[in-house]
Amino acid sequence: MNLTLKIWRQKDSNDTGKMVSYNVTDISDHMSFLEMLDVLNEQLVNSGDAPVAFDHDCREGICGMCSLQINGEAHGPDRGVTTCQLHMRMFKDGDTITIEPFRAKAFPVIKDLVVDRSAFDRIQQAGGYISVNTSGNTQDANSIPIPKADADEAMDAATCIGCGACVATCKNASAMLFVGAKVSQYALLPQGRVEAKERVMNMVNQMDKEGFGNCTNTGACEVECPKGISLTTIARMNREYLSASVTKD
């Protein structure tokens, strides 16, 4: 198929940037979206132009590096996939596809479609961990039984890949799904309960400092999340936060 691509080009963080149109031809149905962009970049390199910079790495939907707002949706029109798993069979010959970087004050553009998501790292550094040292002398892994339902739910929350689609898609650029997922994972496990109060307070504070918006429960994040993280994680975070702020000194 032949396509017209409208892509955000921005030389560096100081550049104002603009949308630029490109044409690509002979795109196969079986290609992934990023492979289609590879074709474009090969074309650009061969004509001596700078290729479009975009983040990507594992190309199997788990590293969370790829992003892209495609036709107005984070990771494109398909559900439950990242951009690298989006296949061109979702598009048809003659389509015009708009490709923009994830937009948020907390995600400044570095170049073209590459954004800086280090705000997520800083939120994790504020409390997204359990304070145990690597001694090898922790108690046996089976010493605390954890109900399967809790372990499974913790796992569901833990599958977050930190791609930022929730922020990109939220009309408020809110990061609550991301933070809610991490808070939930630990809140559900006995090992994480120990520091649960400090954790939720610190992570929420850091999230606010980074300049993310507020949650208005539109649910868009849940729909666009490639890993299907549920809104229940945000509710749990709210609950944890509420009880921590009421009971903590």
Burial (CB count within 10 angstroms: exposed 0-12, middle 13-18, buried 19+), residue 31: middle
Q: Binding to another protein by residue 91, rule CB under 8 A? A: no
16-25: which pairs have CB atoms within 8 A and are 24 or more residues apart? 17/109, 19/98, 19/100
Residue count, binding to another protein (CB under 8 A): 127
Q: Binding to another protein by residue 241, rule CB under 8 A? A: yes
Contact flags string 3-32 toward another protein, x per CB under 8 A? ---x-x--xx------x--------x-xxx
And the tokens for 248?
């903590």
Contact flags string 31-50 toward another protein, x per CB under 8 A? xx-xx--xx--x-xxx-xxx
Tell which positions 128-187 bind another protein, by CB under 8 A.
128-136, 138-142, 145-148, 151-152, 154-155, 158-159, 161-162, 169, 171-174, 176, 185-186
Q: Phi and psi dihedrals of 17, rounded to 5?
A: 80, 155
Measured from the CB atom, the residue of 94 and 143 that comes closer to another protein is: 143
And the tokens for 72?
């107005």
Measured from the CB atom, the residue of 94 and 147 that comes closer to another protein is: 147
Q: Binding to another protein by residue 2, rule CB under 8 A? A: no
CB of 141 to another protein, least distance (A): 4
Q: Binding to another protein by residue 116, rule CB under 8 A? A: yes
Q: Binding to another protein by residue 59, rule CB under 8 A? A: yes
d(CA 41, CA 224) in angstroms, rounded, equals 27
CA angle 109, 111, 115 (to 5 degrees): 35
The C-alpha torsion from 60 through 155 and 214 to 226, rounded to 10°, is: 20
Tell which positions 196-235 bind another protein, by CB under 8 A.
201, 204-205, 207-208, 211-220, 223-224, 231-232, 234-235
Instruction: Answer for the pair 173, 126: CB distance below 8 angstroms, yes or no.
Output: no
